[in-house]
Amino acid sequence: MTQPAPKQHWVGHADLDAFYASVEARDHPEYRGRPLVVGALPGHRGVVAAANYAARKFGIHSAMPIAEAYRRCPDAIYLPPDMARYSRVSRDIFRILETITPMVEPVSVDEAYLDLTGLERLIGSPETIGREIKRRILEGTGLTVSVGIGPNRLIAKLGSEYRKPDGLTVVHPEQVPAFLSPMPVASLRGLGRQTEKIFSRLGIKTVAQLRSLPLSYLEVQLGKRAAANFHQQALGIASAEVVPGRGRKSISRETTFEEDLLDQETLHAVLRRLTAKVAATARREQLSGSVVTLKIRFAGFETHTRQHRLTVPTHDERVILREAWRLFLHGKLPRKPVRLIGVGISDWQQPDSEPTQADLFEPPQKREKDDRLLETLDRVADRFGKGKLQLGYATKSERRKLR
């Protein structure tokens, strides 16, 4: 008796094109066709969060200092981010993707992996599925998306990058070697600066060149773990697993100051506002994090991060602020003016799991009271806007504003 052929796995990767900038252009038709940059405003300190493709022709890209972006294109439209609006559009996009398949794994606000295995009988070929994804998102949101489809996550991701913007690339299993061969090794996942230097020293520029080298030789140059990783990628071998609900790995907020700050009261007040935003997002997404991360940047882009693991996962800004400030004070950071400060939480507690360790000294009544307080805080924010009500104390300058 002949065995049935194994089912072909198909993974899709949907990546919105210049998402923040595209939302702005959609909502403001007068911006269309012009270079558009979302991020810090010219004359202020900060970086580019997103640039549309007209701006990218001037060499502007995300994470570029805004002063450099303005030098390259002073005539571009510069806008501050509207994260609340982008989040609303993001939720619409994920709802549309879930009409294609329930197996959707968000990676960020503007990209996701999809398990498309078995949909050929319902929708059609992988090419037909890709066109349907693009059609539904365009009709539902007015935005374009680039879609890659392949036998695993690596090929799907590289496929979505292949013909941006508004592209569709389907790579069948037998096409994988030819698809990968001419690509620069920098296209592979997890390639850091040190590995890139090693490849450059060895004269390895393309995936085909990397694939031709014996694994034993790569192990000598990179170490066993890294060698195995890049060797497998060069062969097109990667995971096809898509995990719905895995979603984002962390929630963070940061801000860059106009002038470097040393005053601890001001830094604490800024950190409190950032933690309030982080905690509100976590509660809205029903997430509780076990790891608090503090990010500090000084002049010359000298950046430090410090982390602390909590015994009980939280989405309470008071807990996050307390631990982040403790990291600031006792994390052996340089005592010099701060250019950027940021805070985040990660390592989520699963919604259906028990807390890692209950606080034996906190009565249940207090936890219930805290939960009600946080719910009230979120309702006030939903009705009157964020920042109208905050937990904690006000600084002297904030108290003067309240008089």
* Signed CA dihedral, 310, 362, 342, 279: sign only: positive
Separation between Cα atoms, residue 377 and residue 52, nearest integer Å: 36
Statement to judge: residues 86 and 206 lie in one domain: no
Indicate the pairing of strand 303-314 with strand 289-297.
antiparallel
Q: What is the DSSP string of 206-246?
A: BHHHHHTS-HHHHHHHH-HHHHHHHHHHHTT-------TT-
pTM attached to this predicted model: 0.68
Statement to judge: residues 165 and 85 lie in one domain: yes
Q: Residue 38 CB: number of other CB atoms within 10 A?
A: 25
In order along its 403 residues, the chain shows pLDDT tens digits of 555 556 789 999 999 999 999 999 999 999 988 999 999 899 887 889 899 999 999 999 988 889 999 999 999 999 998 888 998 999 999 999 999 999 999 888 899 999 999 998 899 999 999 999 999 999 999 999 999 999 999 999 999 999 999 999 999 999 999 999 999 999 998 887 788 889 999 999 999 999 999 999 999 988 888 899 999 999 999 999 898 866 667 889 988 888 889 999 999 999 999 999 999 888 877 788 999 999 999 988 889 999 999 988 999 999 999 999 999 999 999 999 999 999 999 887 744 344 333 343 344 444 444 555 555 555 545 444 445 445 554 445 443 443 3
Identify whether the C-beta of residue 320 lies closer than 8 Å to the C-beta of residue 279: yes
Indicate the pairing of strand 104-108 with strand 111-115.
antiparallel
Q: Which two tokens stand for residue 58?
A: 């001037």
1 belongs to a structural domain: no
Statement to judge: residues 130 and 208 lie in one domain: no
Statement to judge: residues 186 and 172 lie in one domain: no
Statement to judge: residues 222 and 255 lie in one domain: no
Statement to judge: residues 335 and 211 lie in one domain: no
304 belongs to a structural domain: yes
Domain termination site, one of 166, 201, 234 = 234
Of 136, 131, 137, whose CA–CA distance to 149 is shortest? 131
Statement to judge: residues 228 and 265 lie in one domain: no
2 belongs to a structural domain: no
- Number of domains comprising the chain: 3
Statement to judge: residues 223 and 135 lie in one domain: no
Q: What is the CATH number of the domain that holds 212?
A: 1.10.150.20
Q: What angle do CA 255, 45, 19 make, to 5 degrees?
A: 65
Of 45, 77, 44, 38, whose CA–CA distance to 61 is shortest? 38
- Phi–psi pair at 30, nearest 5 degrees: -70, -15
pLDDT by residue (tens digit) across 77-113? 999 988 889 989 999 999 999 999 999 998 888 999 9
How many Å is the maximal CA-CA distance in the chain? 85
Q: What is the CATH number of the domain that holds 325?
A: 3.30.1490.100
Q: What is the CATH number of the domain that holds 88?
A: 3.30.70.270
Statement to judge: residues 214 and 254 lie in one domain: no
Considering the chain, what is the average pLDDT of its residues?
85
The active-site residue out of 68, 98, 105, 111 is: 111
52 belongs to a structural domain: yes
239 belongs to a structural domain: no
Statement to judge: residues 76 and 194 lie in one domain: no
Identify whether the C-beta of residue 194 lies closer than 8 Å to the C-beta of residue 222: no
245 belongs to a structural domain: no
242 belongs to a structural domain: no
Quote the pLDDT of residue 274.
93
Whether 302 sits among the annotated catalytic residues: the reply is no
Quote the pLDDT of residue 45.
79
Domain termination site, one of 180, 203, 226 = 180
Separation between Cα atoms, residue 403 and residue 400, nearest integer Å: 5
Domain termination site, one of 140, 162, 180 = 180
Statement to judge: residues 160 and 16 lie in one domain: yes
Domain span including residue 268: 250-402
Statement to judge: residues 118 and 223 lie in one domain: no
170 belongs to a structural domain: yes
